Amino acid sequence: MLYLLWQTFSVDADAPDTTPDFSYLAEHCAHIPPIPARSFVQHQDTLAQTLHALGASAYIAEPGASAAYFANISGSHWHLSERPLLLIIRPAKDEHGDVRANISILTPAFEETRAKLLPVPNDAGITYVAWPEDQSPFSRALSLLPDADGAQVFVDGSVRTFITDGLQKAAPNARVTIAPVEIRRLRERKSFEEIEILKCVNEVTVLAIRAARDYMRIGMRESEAGQLINSALTAAGLKDAFALTLFGENAALPHGSGTNRVLGRHDFVLIDCGGTLHGYHSDVTRTFALPQTEVPRSHFPVWRMVHKAQHRALAAAKNGTVAAAIDRAARSVITKAGYGEYFTHRLGHGIGLETHESPYLVGGSEDILLTGHTFSDEPGIYIEGKVGVRLEDCFYINEDGDGRYLTAGVGGPAASPWDP
């Protein structure tokens, strides 16, 4: 998915009054459980051991994807405001000398009871540190560290600047820095449980596109097609569903034109959509024709080159490969075919508890692909005023070190413009 520029459309007067029954899609992922409590504890202890190895005193995160990974505290559990709530994880040795995670939550004093209701898995107890509004939350947070003034404190990369600055000012001699790659990789590299969730959520997104396509017709508007996709994704049990729907030359603008175009007989349909299952995201794009579409002859080589580039990228994706090389593998296909100037964005992004997360498949990146990494693979050709084609499937690096599509369970990438 490219970053979507959301538009509000009015509902077309000729739109059907009834929504198709997509409820059968819910069966596809009904057997997939959420991440169990024991895995969160393992994430916490692995983080603590990594902190200990790096000589760091603490890791601090706000509610969001990283706090969700380590402690099941997502942004939906606790919305960010000017009053910080912080997850603080410190390394500590247990009675056997093993390094384990010590978990604390800094909370506004008047929110302490609500903070204690957060569903944080932990087998060693949680310390809640409340800060009254006439005191510094950052001094209270650092009071947990016996050596705060000289400590190395890592903050998650998404932590807001005023919090990082506040922590540094509260302990001028401490080193408050963004968590290094060793910490980032703990969330970047997915476990078997996470891969299973990601497989299912991406598979059912493909099924939703195929199901919604059966109800699309020449003469409908982009907003109507978007409503069909959203209905199918929601019926499949996904949360936070989104659908970017573009017809014809509108698809040559990767984020759309802001219009509500009618589907013509010679137009491709581009759908970029997804949602979440147990907090993990899907992201799938298909550019396709309807059975009655009369596709212009000039559109076929564009579709084929994007399709070829997508497969070439996956073939290049191996454990130990530099991310920039994957982007280059796809881009070279399109460039050699004479369309290089029309492939205008990076090849892909990491995906997991965020739709877009590090590392990224982009030219110039020195990040290394490793087992468990997950990415989108979404080359595109955009010829403004004429045609736009993007194809996207997410993949992971398996235990053998090879790239495998998360959508393989339902056939993987599109086979042709008529078979998405």
Domains and CATH numbers, the chain: 37-187 (3.40.350.10), 189-410 (3.90.230.10)
The Cα–Cα gap between 283 and 289 comes to 20
Interval 72-96 mean pLDDT: 96
pLDDT digit string (tens) for 221-279? Answer: 999 999 999 999 999 999 999 999 999 999 999 988 889 999 999 999 999 999 999 99
pLDDT digit string (tens) for 395-408? Answer: 999 999 999 999 99
Q: What pLDDT, on the 0 to 100 scale, is given for residue 1?
A: 62
- Is residue 184 within 8 A of residue 69, CB to CB? The reply is no
CA distances for 398 relative to 109, 279, 317, 328, angstroms? 46, 21, 10, 21
Residue 154 binned pLDDT confidence (cut-offs 50, 70, 90): very high
Q: Which two tokens stand for residue 245?
A: 């729907």
pLDDT digit string (tens) for 195-218? Answer: 999 999 999 999 999 999 999 999
Interval 149-175 mean pLDDT: 95
What is the DSSP pairing of strand 58-61 with strand 152-155? parallel
Interval 283-287 mean pLDDT: 98
Q: Is the pLDDT of residue 360 over 70?
A: yes
Phi then psi dihedrals of residue 102, to 5 deg: -105, 120
* Whole-number percent of the chain with pLDDT over 90: 92
